[in-house]
Amino acid sequence: MKKMLITGGAGFIGSNFVHYTLRERPEYKITVVDKLTYAGNIENLRSAMDEITFIQGDICDRQLMDKLVGEHDIVVHFAAESHNDNSLRNPWPFIETNLVGTASLLEAVRKHDKRFHHISTDEVYGDLPLDRPDLKFTENTPYHPSSPYSSTKAGSDLLVHAWVRSFGIKATLSNCSNNYGPYQHIEKFIPRQITNILSGMKPKLYGNGLQVRDWIYVDDHNSAVHAILDKGQVGELYLIGANGEKTNKFILETILELMGKPKDFYEHVTDRAGHDQRYAIDNEKIVKELGWQPKFEDIRKGLEETISWYKENATLWEAEKQAVEAKYKENGQ
Ligand code: NAD
Ligand code: TDX
């Protein structure tokens, strides 16, 4: 059994990664370390609790990270402050967790000589113009982040690259596009709109809604991370994406249709400051070098399943809904 330490495993992608790994890769013995911030929910791991070890802890706690990293063979690092809108209100938790937290893990990985995989985002590259559909991000695109969130993620990536070059740590990185699926926090675009409709509220579209995101179903992200753990080259960065470019307006209209609401049952609200216009991933490297392929490319079907999941798991989000919307309302969103 290989001992795997998963940071941020009670969050959206981390918890899906735990469930995926238990299902598909039983050779791993999993420990999750998670601070359980507002974004982490132990209930996301309820059905896995008998099979994993869960530790509530902060990745900025250097002593704890030193101990935990020393006890495992491999670290998969998901923990982060992850929401752009929050980073515009208060960047400090982003600076602490995304930068200081990543550095404390890197120092422990260096000391104990362990394998490390860093989970990052395509937002480190900034955005692409809407009128140049020929352009996509590649592994050679220069970093040009826009928000406090994406700049701290970019900083964390740079720390990993520096620890590889300066200290020879055995690390890989992946930068993925927008994920969707079960267990996503209801502050994020797709679950916010679904749970608004389920709560009798109108969905909220920022600005004109013509911004483009490159959507990937979360289990395609998970299988790509495992492909990198299995076959990736140490020191390399891999972009992960599933050719899922859609405007926000298209996604919202599809959700409305699937939930039996009129096409115009939504409100335009104040746009996000510095709103990135378009993200798009060229996935050639991971497809050609590691033989990875996405399996869930039908976004309509994926949205249908995601809607059903939020309907069936209302106990996981109902209690928080009002508070999340009240916070948005303060910003006119
Ligand atoms: P999330 O906000 O749903 O979950 C983050 C988890 O990290 C939570 O469980 C939270 O409690 C935990 N956490 C936060 N600060 C911590 C700390 N100091 N110590 C320990 N745990 C802490 O985020 P997510 O959407 O699942 O994103 C996971 C990772 O994937 C992040 O690194 C994010 O940048 C990256 N990513 C996300 C997307 C996306 O579309 N959601 C796309 C590409 C990359
Ligand atoms: O209510 C909303 N209305 C709206 O129009 C919200 C919450 C968002 N939006 C827009 C903003 C974006 O153009 O929808 C798009 C998606 O928004 P988010 O879900 O906040 O995602 P995004 O900012 O694109 O970042 C996500 O993908 C990359 C994740 O939150 C990041 O963690 C990841 O790195």
Q: How far apart are CA 172 and CA 158, in angstroms?
A: 12
pLDDT of residue 176: 99
pLDDT of residue 230: 98
Closest listed ligand to the CA of 274: 2
Q: Which of 34, 58, 81, 122 is catalytic?
A: 122
Q: How far apart are CA 185 and CA 11, in angstroms?
A: 8
Write the pLDDT tens digit of every residue in 94-108: 999 999 999 999 999
Mean pLDDT of 104-123: 98
Q: How far apart are CA 34 and CA 14, in angstroms?
A: 10
Residue 155 phi, psi dihedral angles, 5° rounding: -60, -40
Question: DSSP assignment of 235-254, as one string?
Answer: T-EEEE--S-EEEHHHHHHH
Distance 283 CA to ligand 1 centre (A): 22
For a pocket test of ligand 1, which of 5, 6, 7, 12 has the largest count of ligand atoms closer than 8 A to its C-beta?
Answer: 12
Kindly report the average pLDDT of the chain as a whole number. 98
> Which amino acid residue places its CA nearest to atom 34 of ligand 2?
121
Distance 189 CA to ligand 2 centre (A): 5
The atom of ligand 2 lying closest to the CA of 150 is: 34
Q: Show the tokens assigned to 72.
A: 């495992």
Ligand 2 proximal residues by C-beta, below 6 Å: 82-84, 121, 123, 178, 188-189, 192, 204-206, 211, 213, 248, 272
Q: How far apart are CA 105 and CA 256, in angstroms?
A: 42
> Which amino acid residue places its CA nearest to atom 20 of ligand 2?
188
pLDDT of residue 311: 98
pLDDT of residue 325: 98
Mean pLDDT of 118-145: 98
Write the pLDDT tens digit of every residue in 196-214: 999 999 999 999 999 999 9
Mean pLDDT of 313-321: 98
pLDDT of residue 8: 99
Nearest residue to 14 via CA among 3, 29, 39, 28 = 39
Is 27 an annotated catalytic residue?
no
Distance 149 CA to ligand 1 centre (A): 11
pLDDT band at 171 (very low <50, low <70, confident <90, very high): very high
Mean pLDDT of 61-65: 99
The atom of ligand 1 lying closest to the CA of 178 is: 40
Is 267 an annotated catalytic residue?
no
- The CA-to-CA distance between both ends of the chain, in Å, stands at 48
pLDDT of residue 189: 98
How much of the chain, in percent, has pLDDT values that exceed 90?
A: 100
Q: Which residues contact 259 (CB under 8 A, 6 or more apart)?
A: 194, 197, 307
Mean pLDDT of 6-15: 99
Query: At what angle are helices 148-167 and 102-112 packed, to 10 degrees?
Result: 20
Mean pLDDT of 74-82: 99
Mean pLDDT of 286-295: 98
- Indicate the pairing of strand 204-206 with strand 267-269: parallel
Q: Which of 34, 81, 123, 214 is catalytic?
A: 123
pLDDT of residue 310: 98
The beta strands (E) that lie in 93-133 are given as 115-121
- Indicate the pairing of strand 53-56 with strand 28-34: parallel
Mean pLDDT of 245-270: 98
Q: Show the tokens assigned to 94.
A: 């982003």
> Which amino acid residue places its CA nearest to atom 29 of ligand 1?
78
Distance 190 CA to ligand 2 centre (A): 8
Closest listed ligand to the CA of 35: 1
Is 289 an annotated catalytic residue?
no
pLDDT band at 223 (very low <50, low <70, confident <90, very high): very high
Q: How far apart are CA 146 and CA 127, in angstroms?
A: 8
For a pocket test of ligand 1, which of 69, 82, 324 has the largest count of ligand atoms closer than 8 A to its C-beta?
Answer: 82
Write the pLDDT tens digit of every residue in 133-148: 999 999 999 999 999 9
Ligand 1 pocket, 98 CB below 6 A? no
- Indicate the pairing of strand 115-121 with strand 74-77: parallel
Mean pLDDT of 215-226: 98
3-state secondary structure of 124: helix
Mean pLDDT of 289-316: 98
How much of the chain, in percent, has pLDDT values that exceed 70?
A: 100
Ligand 1 pocket, 36 CB below 6 A? yes
Ligand 1 pocket, 5 CB below 6 A? no
pLDDT of residue 173: 99
